[in-house]
Copies of this chain bind each other. A is one copy, B any other.
Amino acid sequence: MSEIAGKMAALVGANLLAKNHGGSGVLLSGMSGVARGNVVVLGSGTVGSNAARLASGMGADVSVMGRNSAKLGRVDRSTDKNVTTRFANEVTITRLLQDADLVIGAVLQKDARTPRIVTDAMIQDMKPGSVFVDVSIDQGGCSQTSRPTSHKEPTFEKHGVIHYCVPNMPGAYAKTATEALSNNTLPYVIQLAETGFETLIAGSGPMRTALNLADGKLHNEAIAGTFGMEHTPL
């Protein structure tokens, strides 16, 4: 789903920049003779690199910021020439956000709350009518100004910057998302139908670890912990 969310982030951002959506009226792709829009992507993982690819495809000037040199190198080599990679630190983030028309938050930390690397002050320094799409909102958001919104009312304005913070973004492109999900789950469904439930669970494959509930008992330790329920090991 990260691939869809990343691509969507660039698309949604380009759209919110329109005057009638409250944006500054900058067309990311520019046109001949006129400056293009500046897109800053915070994060160089799957979400970030896909957001960068789509924004680059639309013709924007794109900066991808990250702290992992190897990942930045990979993004650098596999994207078009309007994508620059930048090592992320407070000074550089602050400066790049001041010139940005669209900022995409794609900071994801495994098994932890997303760090809030964008401060309230940085948002205040952004140009009026610019847009901030926080894809990392489903793990808490990467800006002090982020709070979850919904597909019904997807945006709010703060310090003159339009914030889009819908946690379940891929739901908007349900057909593509469903096909992607089916591709990855269908093999397991077939295996289940052909091999049978008991045999799969008894084995050592991924199906055993995937079992959450069976015969009224909860086998997933993490869920049990979260909800304070009893946990029965398999």
A contacts, CB < 8 Å to B: 3-4, 7-8, 11-12, 14-15, 17-20, 24-27, 29-36, 54, 56-59, 61, 67, 69, 72-73, 75-78, 80-82, 84-87, 89, 151-152, 154, 171-180, 183-184, 186-187
Contacts and interface: CB of A to CB of B under 8 A. Distances in A.
14 contacts: A3-B31, A7-B27, A7-B59, A18-B172, A24-B175, A26-B175, A32-B72, A33-B85, A33-B180, A34-B176, A35-B84, A54-B59, A61-B84, A69-B183
B34 A7 contact: no
Contacts of A33: 69, 72-73, 76, 85-87, 180, 183
B30 A176 contact: yes
Q: At the interface, is chain A mostly helix, strand, loop or mixed?
A: helix
A172 B174 CA distance: 27
A38 to B, nearest CB: 11
Nearest to A83: B81
Nearest to A8: B27
Given A36-B84, A179-B34, A17 B173 contact: yes
A179 B89 CA distance: 12
